[in-house]
Structure formats: structure tokens, C-alpha cells
């Protein structure tokens, strides 16, 4: 993928793959420092005043778009939501022409969501030198801000030394950009043990699981871990015949209180949302004291502020 | 419904039912005082600076959403329009999870429109202690800011003593959240005489009309009144067979200049909009000197500012 | 059309037809002066603070709407996007009632796009005295800010004396509001020579081409000109049988490097976007050094700032 670094500094945020550990840790530290201002308060308001950020979403995602919109506004930037599904692209305009047109209007940064793995690389190859790109989820490959917010959440609960951390990732890893971004970050941070657990049809190519331990049964996967990272199961997996039924999935892979009890006593549970209750996760776990789901959401705003600040500040 | 008061102060605005008269009057007085700033000027800009208001609309309503958006912005708040029809709820997320997710992003207040009568109570039961809710129209039951703006409009023209006021409500009361909110407020303010007039199929349960006089013929309903409050007739009432035709409705219930002449000479006409001209109201009345339709709209912004200020200020 | 001038000053911007040359030139000069601030910087932020601009789009146009939104925000105005396709108009509300409702909410200016030629005149006839209207594209007749930005772009490259300028307009003139606005402005500025070139089925009534020279072959049209102004070909022209095929159109009218070489050596190429590459324009021209397409886009923001400032400042 097009290099996202220039002179050792972050120019775009396209992927967590290959992002140097010091850069990644600096982003997490900055996000942590911004957190009090991320949700309330006005201290950060002046940082990006006069800058324009466009949310360029080719796939709908109200939740992620809102998180980025709040992050940019709380830094004082102007934010425009450009619904690419309704726009000139539908009239046959190329991705590059849409990008250049918005650049010519004085847009400083683009937050892009797209169904294609390669969309961000394609945009980066055509972007003007001063333009900054943030990947808000592309294809099955990358969702770097989700990976960062997951790492920030783990750090806040488990400390900065990931070498002692045992993590289980459970669910549809094969189709998940969240899982891929988490795996890149967990490896970069030197996580002690990474277990993955999924139905065979939802496992990725073995090469993608380098450094991970594949575990068949979910009970074995969560046994003794410090964190369980769940993934959302898209209903279309069932329609595609990759999963027999939602009930069967819950029976075989759903995180119940009984299964969570097999993990370390202070184990935490992450889920990128929106949750399918009764599919990936039981209500009692989702709403229980070990769930970090809402902390993840809050961290999402702080992480996106840190990223926008790093690119535009 | 979940109590919207805490320590005698307004915590949410869910309904006008049971809202104590002093609180209701204080909101009206404050809205009246804000009116010069509500539409123009910048005096109120600092009041909610740094606060975030989300318009969470499960039913589309560009008009009401815009009124709330302008009210919140003119108080200096950040406003995000969260189109719930396009969002995670469609992906199977529960109402409560959507609420908690946005709370976790640092949203201070939610302006909610929903098709279900009980949606706001359900949200209030799950909301965090610091979250504030404003009902922007729910089911057939409540549209409290519409009720408030109608009362403000009546006050401005007829004075603060409602005991001498004779009011006729004409139209589809059975399906109208506007009518229910108006009735609650009119009763609370001690309105002298409240007449209701509607085709039999569009009347609510008798218990809902406590304290009102049911009048069969619209000529009798408007005779001598100080204010006629019209309701919008949804076209689906005709499709459902509750109304024979729009023409017949206009003939039997439409407010014409001739009918309005039966009211007090200085009688005023209210309509929540959007108007069906030639159905509920004749052009000459809609555009005539007794129509307060546009004053209602202007008051809507002021009332919503007063409500947001009371909740968040 | 309703007069857009009051006391010799611009009250609305509805059309470039009949706009006096000094007014037109003053807008261009002001836009040119605003350009550094138009895209970046905060100098202009205070100009329209406290003012409210509504984008009232009855036809979707993300690109033009975004340009107006950025222009208004960079002047400090509040901007609300009112998607008229989802609004009360769909519920049977008249255009006038929608206008008056938003006026009553304290909206100062409306940026309107509509499919009907006469929509803006109709709105102007009903608007309150203090309301300002900007035509953002109406029917086939007017797109005045596009005309202005095209003139600004020509001026920046060719100087202020249009009497020495030879311009060719190539494409679907008959259905183009851009072409009509360009023609009005080019005539007002005293352009030396205006050639038009289009398939017979895409030519307008002869009266509309007063002062222009109709040229059959595109090679003859561009020969020696200083500027080629291309128009977008809507795909529906082909479906309507007005154009045999996109390939045939490109062969007969597409601007290729070979054709452009027939123009003056320093000739420039304009296109309002979004471009159909390989239909109206070859890639090598679109991306070549003579293309001003992106400069047009940048000028669009500056021109819209100048217009809003002239109306509301």
C-alpha cells in the first residue's frame, strides 16, 4: 500500500499494517491525553479552526461517521458530510475526479469509507500533496481507527506492556477489517499470546494468522485470557451458507457468562458494535461489568481526534 | 411515563401531561424573552457552547428537525443529525444500544422523534443520569414542544389569563399527538372553554376528552370562540376509510372565511403545519390576518431554545 | 423574471440575464479578492456570523450544495441543508408555504436548486422583503453562479478585456442551464466572438443564439479560439434518441488533444463537471495543462462567497 509516512511522520492513516510501534504508541498516548476533552469541554476547539474535513462515505455508516464528525468538530474543524452514494460518482464521475473536485474546494482531509480494499490506496495515489486521508473502513482489509481504539481500551485496563497479555479474537475473522486491524496492532505492540477462534468457513488464509494460535473450541480459546475481542456476525454470512443459523452460532461461539468465567478473573470483553445480542454475545455479558463496549466508543472519539490532529495539527 | 422531573426541575421533556403549571409558564416566559434572539442575533450563542445535541429521528420530519437544529445552534451547541432510519438500528441494534453508543460519544441531549407512543419512556428508562431527552413527536401521544409553541402563540395574542379563553380544536384528534399535547397544556393553564369537533371516526376515547365539550357541527364549534386550532388531516385517513373524501372533509370541517366569521371578531387561527390547503383550511383563512401559522413557526424556535436551555443550561 | 435588483443593488441572484455589467464585474472582482480566504484561512469568518443560510435543494446535487455550504460557512453563517425531496413538499405543502415556514424560523437566505425554470421567480414573488434568494441551478434556464465562476476563470487567465476573446461552447446547449448562463455573461462582458457547436438535436431555438456564430464541425469551432467551454452530456439524451451513442458523440464532438491543437496555443478548456471522460473530453485534455476544471471549482467557492456577501453582508 502507498506509504502513509513522509519523513517518518504520519501523512495519511491508511492501515495499521507496518505502522511503526513508536508512532502507534504516540497516537495512543495522545488520544489518552485528549480523552477528557474528547467528550466534553472546549479546550481543543482552536486546534483545527479554519480546516475543512470531509466525510466521504461510499458505504453508509452513521455510527462511525458521527464519531469522526464529533472528533473533527471538537477540534474546531468545519465538517461536511459528502454522501458519495448520492453524488457525482453515481453520475459516472471517477473516484479521482471526486477527490480532486473536493480538494479544489479547499478540503484539507478526507475521512473515507469504501467497500473496496484498495480504495484508499487508489485515492492516496491521486491525492494532492497537502491532502490528508483517513481510512474509516475499507473492504475487508483495514479499519485502522477501530484498531487504535481497541488498543487504547486494552491499554487503559491492562497497562502498556502487551507482552504479558493473552487475547482471544472470536468470530468472523475472514470478512473482518476490524480483526485485521486489531491483529496488526496487537502484533506491533508485542502481544504475548493471540488466539483466534472461528468456524472454519470464517477463517482467513493461514498467512494472515502468522503469530496467532488457531483454537477450535471457543471454551479453549477464552480459557485464561485477559481479553476477549468479539466480532460482529453479518446476517449475510448465513444467507451465503457460511453459518448454519444464528442460534447455532450463538451455541458454538456466543460469549455467555459461563464461557467468560473460563477467562482470567479480570478479563475484559470488547466488541466493535453494533452488537447482535444473542448471536455473538449474551445480554448478561454485553451489559456486565467486564464489557468495555461503551469505553471503546468513547475512546473512538479521542482516537479520531488524535489522528486528525497528527495529520492536520 | 417515567418522571421527567428531578428535584422539581425539568430533567427531560417527554410530555406535557402532568407538567406543573409553574414550570410550563416559566418555559413560556423564557421562550418569549428569547424570541428576539431566537431568529436573529448572536446574544444566546455562548449558552450551550461545547454541548452536543443529537437529532435522533426514527421518522422523517425535515421541518421539526430544522427548527430544533436552529434552536440548538443559536444557543451555540454542536448539532448532529443522526438519521436513525439509515443507522445501526436497521442492522438490528436495540434502541437502548443506539442511545448508549451515542451517550458514550459525549452527547448531552437527544431530540427524538419516533413512531411509537412509548419510545421516549423506553429511552428515559435506559438513559444515563446526565443525558437529557426531548420528545420531538412520539406516536399519537405526545408532541410537547408543539403544545408549548401553541400556548406561547395564544398567550402573545390573548394574554396570560387562559380562564377567559374559548378554544375550538377541529380535526383528526384521534390520531394527533399535537391535539393531545395542546389539550394537556390548555387544561393545565385553566382554559375557560375547550370545544372539540371531529368526524366521529376521528374522535379519541371519551376519557381523553375530559373537561372538553364535544360539538358535532363545526359552525357550532367555532361560534364565539377566541381561537380555532386546526389539525392536519393525513391522507391515509381517507385510504383507511375513516374520511369519505378530502372534498367532503373540507365541506364539513374545513375552515372557510364564512365559518371563521362565526367566531369572535378577533379570533385567531392556529395550524401546526404543513397545511393541506383546501382540506383543513381555505386559502383565504390560511393567508388572512387572523392566521397565526407563521408566528407559531417562529415561536417554535424560541420554545425549543427555552427547553434546551432549561435542560442543559 | 422578477427583478433581482432593488435601488440598483443586487437583492436576489436569480439569473445573469440582464445583470448590468458593472454589477457583474464587481462580483467578479470581489470573488477574486476573496479567493485566498475562500479555500483556507479564517479572515472572512465574521462577515455573516449570526446569519442563517438554507440550502433548499429540490434536485440532488452534492457537489454544488457542498460548494455553497463551504462558502457560507467560511463567511461564518449557519448553514442548514434542507432536503426538499424528503420534506413537507412531499406531503403536499406548496413551494410558498415551505418558503414562508423557513423564513419564519429566521432564515436569511435560500440557495435553491429546482427542476423547473420558473421556480426561483415563483419563490421571489412570494418571499418576504428581507429574504434573499440565490439560484443554484433551475431547469434548463439559469445557473448564475456557474456562469460567474466561468467568467472569473476566463478573466484570471485571459485578462479583463473580453472584447479580444474568442470562445467556443461545445455540447448540449439546448438542455444546459450552464450554457445559457455563460452566454448571458459572455455577451454582457462584450466577448469578441462566441461560437456554438452541437449536434442539431442539441441546439436551442435560434433566438437564444443571438450574437453567436453557429459552427457545424467541432474542428472549425475550436480553430483559433482562446477558450473551449465544454458541456456535460446527460446519458438520458442517448436514451431519448437525441444522440446516437456516446462513442459517436466523442468521435464527432469530444475534445481530443488533436482538436485542442487547432485552438490558439494558449487556449484554455473549461468544463462544469462532473466530466464524462471519453464522452465530452479525452483524458489527456481533462488532465492536461490547458484544463481549468479544478480552477473553476476553486473559483466556485469564491464566487459563492462574493454573492452571499453582496446579498447579506
Out of C80, C92, C106, name the one closest to residue B38 (CB).
C106
Contacting subunits of B (3+ beta carbon pairs below 8 A): A, C
Q: Any idea which fold B144-296 has?
A: Rossmann fold (3.40.50)
B113-156 per-position pLDDT tens digit: 999 999 999 999 999 999 999 999 999 999 999 999 999 999 99
From CA B73, how far away is CA B39, in angstroms rounded? Answer: 11
Cα-to-chain-centroid distance, residue A166 = 20
Beta partners for A214? A196
Predicted pLDDT at A83 = 78
Question: Would you say residue A79 has pLDDT above 90?
Answer: yes
Predicted pLDDT at C51 = 95
Question: Would you say residue B91 has pLDDT above 90?
Answer: no
Question: Would you say residue A144 has pLDDT above 90?
Answer: yes
3 state SS of B173: coil
CA-based nearest distance A173→chain C, Å = 36
- Show the cell assigned to A161: 506492556
State the pLDDT confidence band at A24, using cuts at 50, 70 and 90. very high
The domain limits of chain A are 5-142+297-312, 144-293
CA-based nearest distance B39→chain A, Å = 23
State the pLDDT confidence band at C45, using cuts at 50, 70 and 90. confident
Q: Using an 8 Å Cβ cutoff, are B144 and B15 in contact?
A: yes
- Show the cell assigned to B155: 398567550
Share of chain C above pLDDT 90, in %: 86
B256-305 per-position pLDDT tens digit: 999 999 999 999 999 999 999 999 999 999 999 999 999 999 999 999 99
CA-based nearest distance C35→chain A, Å = 11
Question: Would you say residue B88 has pLDDT above 60?
Answer: no
**Chain A partners within 8 Å of C42 (Cβ):** 49-50
Mark yes or no for CB contact B105/A300 under 8 Å: yes
State the pLDDT confidence band at A264, using cuts at 50, 70 and 90. very high
Contact partners, residue B177, CB within 8 Å, separation at least 6: B137, B138, B139, B140, B141, B142, B143, B146
Q: Per CB distance under 8 Å, which residues of C are interface residues toward A?
A: 38-42, 45, 60, 62-63, 66-67, 69-70, 73-74, 235, 273-277, 294-295, 297-298, 300-301
CA-based nearest distance B247→chain A, Å = 38
Predicted pLDDT at C9 = 95
Cis peptide leading into residue B274 (ω within 30°)? yes
Out of C49, C101, C108, name the one closest to residue B63 (CB).
C101
From CA A38, how far away is CA A46, in angstroms rounded? Answer: 13
Beta partners for A132? A109
Mark yes or no for CB contact A86/C60 under 8 Å: yes
C111-162 per-position pLDDT tens digit: 999 999 999 999 999 999 999 999 999 999 999 999 999 999 999 999 999 9
**Chain A partners within 8 Å of C303 (Cβ):** none
Cα–Cα–Cα angle for C271, A83, C118, rounded to 5 degrees: 60
Q: Which of C128, C127, C97, C58 is closest to B278 using CA atoms?
A: C97
Question: Would you say residue A84 has pLDDT above 90?
Answer: no
State the average pLDDT over residues C208-218.
96
CA-based nearest distance A108→chain C, Å = 9
* Residue B166 DSSP class: E
**Chain C partners within 8 Å of B73 (Cβ):** 78
From CA C112, how far away is CA C135, in angstroms rounded? Answer: 5
Q: Any idea which fold A144-293 has?
A: Rossmann fold (3.40.50)
Mark yes or no for CB contact B97/A275 under 8 Å: yes
Domain C5-141+300-312 sits in CATH at 3.40.50.1370
A41, A45, A63: which to substitute to probe chain B, counting the most B Cβ within 10 Å? A63
State the pLDDT confidence band at A86, using cuts at 50, 70 and 90. low
Question: Would you say residue A2 has pLDDT above 60?
Answer: no
Mark yes or no for CB contact B101/A294 under 8 Å: yes
From CA C190, how far away is CA A39, in angstroms rounded? Answer: 57
Predicted pLDDT at B60 = 83
From CA B45, how far away is CA A268, in angstroms rounded? Answer: 42
3 state SS of B281: strand
Mark yes or no for CB contact C93/B40 under 8 Å: no
From CA A226, how far away is CA A166, in angstroms rounded? Answer: 5
DSSP collapsed to 3 states, chain C: CCCCEECCEECCECCCCCCCHHHHHHHHHHHHHHHHHHHCCCCCCCCCCCCEEEEEECCCCHHHHHHHHHHHHHCCCEEEEEEHHHCHHHHCCCHHHHHHHHHHCCCCEEEEEECCCCHHHHHHHHCCCCCEEEEEEECCCECHHHHHHHHHHHHHHHCCCHHHCEEEEECCHHHCHHHHHHHHHHHHCCCCEEEEECCHHHCCCHHHHCCCEECCCHHHHHCCCCEEEECCCCCHHHHCCCCCCHHHHHHHHCECHHHHCCCCCCCEEECCCCCCECCCECHHHHCCCCECHHHHHHHHHHHHHHHHHHHHC
Q: Cβ atoms within 10 A of the Cβ of B258, count? A: 11
Question: Would you say residue A88 has pLDDT above 70?
Answer: no
- Show the cell assigned to C309: 456577501
Question: Would you say residue A106 has pLDDT above 70?
Answer: yes
Q: Which of C52, C43, C65 is closest to C102 using CA atoms?
A: C52
- The complex's ipTM works out to 0.95
Question: Would you say residue C88 has pLDDT above 70?
Answer: no
From CA B309, how far away is CA B76, in angstroms rounded? Answer: 11
Beta partners for C112? C56, C135
Question: Would you say residue C240 has pLDDT above 90?
Answer: no
Contact partners, residue C139, CB within 8 Å, separation at least 6: C114, C115, C116, C117, C118, C119, C177
pTM for the model: 0.95
B281, B282, B285, B286 alpha-carbon torsion, rounded to 10°: 60
Beta strand B9-10 with B5-6 is antiparallel
CATH pick for B5-142+297-312 out of 3.40.50.1370, 3.30.1330.10, 3.40.640.10, 3.40.50.620:
3.40.50.1370
Out of B39, B42, B294, name the one closest to residue C49 (CB).
B42
Q: Do domains A5-142+297-312 and A144-293 have the same CATH topology?
A: yes
Out of C69, C275, C298, name the one closest to residue A97 (CB).
C275
- Show the cell assigned to A175: 470478512
**Distance (Å) of CA A39 to CA B71, B245, B276:** 22, 53, 43
From CA A136, how far away is CA A144, in angstroms rounded? Answer: 7
Mark yes or no for CB contact C50/B63 under 8 Å: no
Q: Using an 8 Å Cβ cutoff, are C271 and C281 in contact?
A: yes
Q: Using an 8 Å Cβ cutoff, are B189 and B161 in contact?
A: no
Angle separating helix axes B144-158 and B21-39, nearest 10 degrees: 80
**Distance (Å) of CA C303 to CA B30, B131, C167, C185, C296:** 41, 43, 21, 14, 10
Contacting subunits of A (3+ beta carbon pairs below 8 A): B, C
From CA B83, how far away is CA B93, in angstroms rounded? Answer: 14
From CA C238, how far away is CA A44, in angstroms rounded? Answer: 53
Q: Cβ atoms within 10 A of the Cβ of C107, count? A: 24
- Show the cell assigned to A21: 510501534
**DSSP one-letter string for B13-62:** B--STT--HHHHHHHHHHHHHHHHHHHS-STTTTTTTT-EEEEEESS--H
CA-based nearest distance B257→chain C, Å = 19
Burial A159-177 (b: 16+ CB within 10 A, else e): eeebeebbbbbbbbbbbbb
Mark yes or no for CB contact B87/A235 under 8 Å: no
3 state SS of B165: coil
Question: Would you say residue C238 has pLDDT above 90?
Answer: no
**Chain B partners within 8 Å of C90 (Cβ):** none
Beta strand C5-6 with C9-10 is antiparallel
Question: Would you say residue A237 has pLDDT above 80?
Answer: yes
* Burial group, residue B161, by CB count within 10 angstroms (0-12, 13-18, 19+): exposed
Q: What is the radius of gyration, based on Cα positions, of chain A?
A: 19
Mark yes or no for CB contact A101/C63 under 8 Å: yes
Cell 444467507 identifies what position?
A: A239
From CA C142, how far away is CA A313, in angstroms rounded? Answer: 41
- Across chain C, mean pLDDT equals 94
Amino acid at each position: 500500500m502507498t506509504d502513509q509516512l513522509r519523513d517518518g511522520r504520519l501523512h495519511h492513516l491508511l492501515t495499521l499494517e507496518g505502522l511503526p510501534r513508536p508512532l502507534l504508541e504516540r497516537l495512543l498516548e495522545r488520544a489518552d491525553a485528549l480523552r477528557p476533552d474528547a467528550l466534553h469541554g472546549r479546550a481543543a476547539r482552536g486546534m483545527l479552526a479554519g480546516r475543512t474535513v470531509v466525510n466521504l462515505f461510499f458505504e453508509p455508516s452513521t455510527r462511525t461517521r458521527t464519531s469522526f464528525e464529533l472528533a473533527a468538530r471538537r477540534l474546531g474543524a468545519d465538517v461536511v458530510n459528502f454522501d458519495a452514494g448520492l453524488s457525482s460518482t453515481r453520475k459516472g464521475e471517477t473516484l479521482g475526479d471526486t477527490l480532486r473536485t473536493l480538494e479544489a474546494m479547499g478540503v484539507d482531509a478526507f475521512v473515507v469509507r469504501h467497500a473496496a480494499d484498495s480504495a484508499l490506496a487508489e485515492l492516496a495515489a491521486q491525492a494532492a500533496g497537502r491532502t490528508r486521508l483517513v481510512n474509516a473502513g475499507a473492504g475487508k482489509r483495514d479499519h485502522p481507527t477501530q484498531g487504535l481504539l481497541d488498543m487504547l481500551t486494552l491499554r487503559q485496563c491492562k497497562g502498556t506492556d502487551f507482552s504479558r497479555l493473552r487475547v482471544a479474537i472470536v468470530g468472523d475473522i475472514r470478512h473482518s477489517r476490524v480483526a485485521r486491524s486489531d491483529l496488526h496492532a496487537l502484533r506491533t505492540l508485542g502481544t504475548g499470546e493471540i488466539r483466534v477462534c472461528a468456524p472454519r468457513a470464517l477463517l482467513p488464509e493461514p498467512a494472515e494468522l502468522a503469530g496467532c494460535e488457531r483454537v477450535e473450541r471457543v471454551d479453549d480459546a477464552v480459557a485464561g485470557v485477559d481479553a476477549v475481542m468479539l466480532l460482529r456476525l453479518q446476517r449475510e454470512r448465513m444467507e451465503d451458507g457460511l453459518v448454519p443459523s444464528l442460534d447455532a452460532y450463538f451455541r458454538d461461539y456466543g460469549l455467555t457468562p459461563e464461557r467468560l468465567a473460563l477467562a482470567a478473573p479480570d478479563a475484559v470483553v470488547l466488541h466493535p458494535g453494533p452488537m447482535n445480542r444473542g448471536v455473538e454475545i449474551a445480554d448478561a455479558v454485553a451489559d456486565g461489568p467486564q464489557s468495555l463496549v461503551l469505553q471503546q466508543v468513547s475512546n473512538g472519539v479521542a482516537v479520531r481526534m488524535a489522528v486528525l490532529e497528527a495529520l492536520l495539527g
